[in-house]
Amino acid sequence: MKIRGYVNDDKPTVIKLLEMNIPEFFAASEVADFENYLIQQLEDFFLVEDKERIIGAGGINYFPKINTARLSWDFIHPDFKGQGIGKDLTEFRIELIKKNPEIKTIEVRTSQLAYQFYEKLGFKLIKTEPDFWAEGFDLYHMEMNNIN
């Protein structure tokens, strides 16, 4: 297994990977949001490969004016869930963020379907908002301090 940066040629495969996580973790309407992210909001985005096959993805966005980095668009191939791949990818990104002394807060905006995963990694729940992502997909805004 290896983690590498996203390139534009990965787009169809990554979109298909997201679609494999619908409706368990994402609403169908979020595919368009993700496509927009790849075109207009992409900063750091990483893929997990196993034998040249993309099995996971997750990004980072930066908000320097408020000294914050946000984990974004995390998902794993359904056949590989429960094997620690999501944890490895998340810890990889957290360690990358921690190298930047300007970042004071790491946040993640997830749903009620995945917030416990982030709790186990040290994120604290800040607020919730019902039906934020789509009907039945609530916002769980979580944060952790960036201790360098």
- pLDDT mean over 13-21: 97
**Which pairs with CB-CB distance under 8 Å and at least 24 residues apart come from 6-9?**
6/42, 6/45, 6/46, 6/47, 6/57, 6/59
The model's pTM is: 0.93
Residues above pLDDT 70, as percent of the chain: 99
Q: Which pLDDT value is given to residue 146?
A: 81
- 3-class DSSP state of 6: coil
Helical H runs in the chain?
Answer: 11-19, 30-36, 85-98, 115-120
Q: Sheet containing 124-134: which strands, arranged edge to edge?
A: 2-5, 44-50, 53-63, 68-76, 105-110, 137-145, 124-134
Rounded distance, CA 46 to CA 107, Å? 17
pLDDT digits (tens, 9 = 90+) for 86-114: 999 999 999 999 999 999 999 999 999 89
Picking from 47, 106, 31, 102, the residue whose alpha carbon sits closest to that of residue 80 is 47
Average pLDDT score, the chain: 95
Q: What pLDDT, in 10s, does the model give residues 42-85?
A: 999 999 999 989 999 999 999 999 999 999 999 999 999 999 99
**Domains observed in the chain:** 2-145 (3.40.630.30)
Mean pLDDT along residues 126-137: 93
pLDDT surpasses 90 at 29: yes
For 41, how many CA atoms within 13 A lie in the half-sphere containing its CB?
A: 15
Asked if residue 124 has pLDDT above 80, the reply is: yes
